[in-house]
Amino acid sequence: MHRGARWPGRVPARVQARSVLPRVLEPLVDLVLPRVCAGCGHPGCLLCPRCAALLARPRLATPRRHPDGFPPTVAAAAYAGPVRPVVNAFKEHGRTELAAPLGAALALAVVVVRAGAGGGPVLLVPLPSSRAAVRERGRDHVAELTRAAVRELRRAGVPVTAARLLGRRGRVRDSAGLDARQRRANLAGTFVLREPVRRGSGLLVVVDDVVSSGASVTEAAAVLIPAARRHDTPVVAAVVAATPRGRPVAAVGPGPGVFTVRER
């Protein structure tokens, strides 16, 4: 989670207007204020081709201090450069129309992680945001991303479903300013299994917007793995962007072998 991430520079007027106006008025915003690329400010588009291309460079996420139990995780992009303002415009500044391109990026990450795990049907498990965060934003942005990714994957013929298997309990303090170990401790016991993992549900893919320390994904996997192991179901993760350390995945072939899914 990147609650502390800062918008680089001035928030465009269009974004400010969008975050305060009801959705019915959004077409008016487009008329009054020019549409600009959420990544670089290039006029006339939601996302320019150059910034869109940055969202299609899949890589294995490799947190700096690799947490024990961090599942194999593929990110569609590096969380750097124009990708940061794109994600933040969607997440924190109400540019909900970015759900489609960011959902497509998440779908790409799912395709890559699925190929690495040997293919087959997939079950997307969105990482639940805290109630306070949902209240503050007025929406559940990870749920929006998940729905967009499911649409994209179905269009591509990937057998996919999504289920809110994880819930949250208790209160978690803002993770901004905490190191990796403190983030993990802050999250310990936060996620709970809301419903059992069903036999034949397919590869469990935890999905989220951004991975940095890996604490949230690790904590989610720790809850899912014991439930999934019963059916021999691996647990992996896919995100839109990861703090850059891993190299882009050079070749993604069908079937196993891109990386090893370790059972714990």
Nearest-approach distance from CB 51 to Zn ion, in angstroms: 3
Please say which residue, 90 or 191, places its beta carbon nearer to Zn ion: 90
Residue in 15, 37, 108, 220 binding Zn ion, rule: CB under 5 A: 37
Nearest-approach distance from CB 202 to Zn ion, in angstroms: 35
The rounded distance, in Å, linking the Cα atoms of 105 and 118 is: 20
Task: Restricting to residues 45-74, name those near Zn ion by CB under 5 A.
Answer: 48, 51
Please say which residue, 39 or 63, places its beta carbon nearer to Zn ion: 39
Tally the C-alpha atoms within 13 A of residue 175's C-alpha that lie toward its C-beta.
Answer: 24
Only one of the segments 32-40, 113-121, 173-181, 254-262 lies at the binding site for Zn ion (rule: CB under 5 A); that segment is 32-40
Please say which residue, 41 or 246, places its beta carbon nearer to Zn ion: 41
The rounded distance, in Å, linking the Cα atoms of 110 and 119 is: 10
Tell me the one-letter amino acid at 241. A
Q: Should residue 39 be labelled a site residue for Zn ion when binding is judged by CB under 5 A?
A: yes
Residue whose tokens read 């019963």: 230
Q: Should residue 115 be labelled a site residue for Zn ion when binding is judged by CB under 5 A?
A: no
Q: Should residue 40 be labelled a site residue for Zn ion when binding is judged by CB under 5 A?
A: yes
Nearest-approach distance from CB 23 to Zn ion, in angstroms: 24
Please say which residue, 51 or 148, places its beta carbon nearer to Zn ion: 51
Please say which residue, 86 or 148, places its beta carbon nearer to Zn ion: 86
Is the Cβ–Cβ distance between 240 and 87 less than 8 Å? yes
Residue in 42, 168, 229, 231 binding Zn ion, rule: CB under 5 A: 42
Only one of the segments 11-19, 44-52, 148-156, 168-176 lies at the binding site for Zn ion (rule: CB under 5 A); that segment is 44-52
The rounded distance, in Å, linking the Cα atoms of 163 and 84 is: 27
The rounded distance, in Å, linking the Cα atoms of 139 and 42 is: 27
Only one of the segments 43-51, 85-93, 214-222, 236-244 lies at the binding site for Zn ion (rule: CB under 5 A); that segment is 43-51
Q: Is the C-alpha dihedral spanning 169, 173, 177, 181 positive or negative?
A: negative
For residue 73, the cross-strand partners are 237
Q: Should residue 12 be labelled a site residue for Zn ion when binding is judged by CB under 5 A?
A: no
Please say which residue, 13 or 188, places its beta carbon nearer to Zn ion: 13
Q: Where are the beta strands (DSSP E) in 85-214?
A: 122-126, 160-162, 166-168, 191-193, 203-211
Please say which residue, 42 or 147, places its beta carbon nearer to Zn ion: 42
Nearest-approach distance from CB 144 to Zn ion, in angstroms: 21
The per-residue b/e assignment along 127-147, b for 16 or more CB within 10 angstroms, e otherwise, is bbbbeebeeeeebbbbbbbbb
Is the Cβ–Cβ distance between 186 and 172 less than 8 Å? yes
The rounded distance, in Å, linking the Cα atoms of 145 and 68 is: 27
Interface with Zn ion (CB under 5 A): 37, 39-40, 42, 48, 51
